[in-house]
Amino acid sequence: MGHPAYMFLNTHENRYWRMIMVKHCVSGQGEVSDKYRSHVAFAKQMKRPLRGLRLAAMVAISATMPATAEPPKFEPSQDASALLEAAREHREVFHENFPGCRSDLLIHVDGEAHRGSMLFKPPITLEVQLDDKELRKEVKRTIKSMLSHRMASNNSSRQKKPVAFGPEDHHPLGRKILIGDKYSSSYRIHDNQILEVDRQMDEKRLLISVLDTEKTTTGRYLSRHFFVTVFDRASGSVKSASAYTDAYQKLGNSYFPKSRRIVSAGKGKTRTLKIDWLDVQLMQGEE
């Protein structure tokens, strides 16, 4: 299958030749008329312009197709990789034997309250029960993102991406680390904590700035307050901004969310979503 414009040009040219053959070939004798010969000569003269037009159309089509994102190229640094790895190791994650849990949910959207329930089984099973279908999708997406950041990372997939230092700018959120992935990601790291994440995603840029963290009994960190800004990549203007406030509770040997509040602003409006986990019950299996 080809692009419609290319298929049209190709089909149009072949159709012209077939039309000449059908109209001017003499049936049963294989002889052709002088009129046919004149049409053949005309078609040969036209064939080169048609090919040129077809090539021009293909060039125009390829120019409008989205370019494939390529990771940035830079010289990897072992020191930068070690700094990033240390910060990742200082994230608080679920205990390796964490079996999952079930809980009730209390959801507030501005002044409206909704009640539901949740079941979570690592690594990816998440069920959310909520009467409002659209709200259920949003809440499930929010909870899934929150819980996925509490899962231990895959070391093998991380090592495939080159890591390097950015310019030393003495930024209060820490030293800039460049990641050679398709999102042209960069992190800022301070005191073994990732305090900023910057990613280029299609037509938008996502910037996550961590404002406050909590040190757990294991000596690792949980983010308590962070700010998410979404920019339009073309203009650089702010499309939306959201402030997140998280609280956690000890559940067995792990830390599990107690609440999340998101205050968002965009398109001239503000909105507050708050999720509370109530009566959280640890499933059997954790030591």
User: What pLDDT digit, counting tens, does each position of 276-286 carry?
Assistant: 999 999 998 64
Q: What is the mean pLDDT of residues 138-161?
A: 84
DSSP track, 142-160:
HHHHHHHTTSPP-HHHHHT
pLDDT bracket for residue 152 (50, 70, 90): confident
Query: What is the token pair recorded at 19?
Result: 């039309």
DSSP 103-118: EEEEEEETTEEEEEEE
Residue 59 is predicted with a pLDDT of 37
> At 158, is the pLDDT very low, low, confident or very high (cuts 50, 70, 90)?
low
The total of other beta-carbon atoms located within 10 Å of residue 54's CB is: 17
Average pLDDT over residues 93-108: 95
More confident residue, 128 or 67: 128
Q: Can you give the C-alpha Rg of the chain in angstroms?
A: 30
Does the pLDDT of residue 174 top 90, yes or no? yes
Where do the domains of the chain lie?
4-64, 78-282
When pLDDT is averaged across residues 43-59 and rounded to a whole number, the result is: 46
Decide which of 20 and 69 is more confident.
Answer: 69
Residue 67's pLDDT band (cuts 50, 70, 90): very low
pLDDT band at 34 (very low <50, low <70, confident <90, very high): low
pLDDT for the residue numbered 27: 42
pLDDT recorded at residue 176: 97
Question: What percent of the chain has a predicted confidence (pLDDT) above 90?
Answer: 66
152: CB partners within 8 A, 6+ apart:
93, 94, 96
Residue 96 predicted with pLDDT over 80: yes
Predicted pLDDT of residue 33: 54
Q: How far is it, in rounded angstroms, from Cα 43 to Cα 13?
A: 9
Residue 161: the pLDDT is 87
Give me the DSSP letters along 205-268: EEEEEEEEEEE-TTS-EEEEEEEEEEEETTT--EEEEEEEEEEEEEETTEEEEEEEEEEEEETT
- How does the average pLDDT of the chain come out, rounded? 81
pLDDT digits (tens, 9 = 90+) for 211-234: 999 999 999 999 999 999 999 999
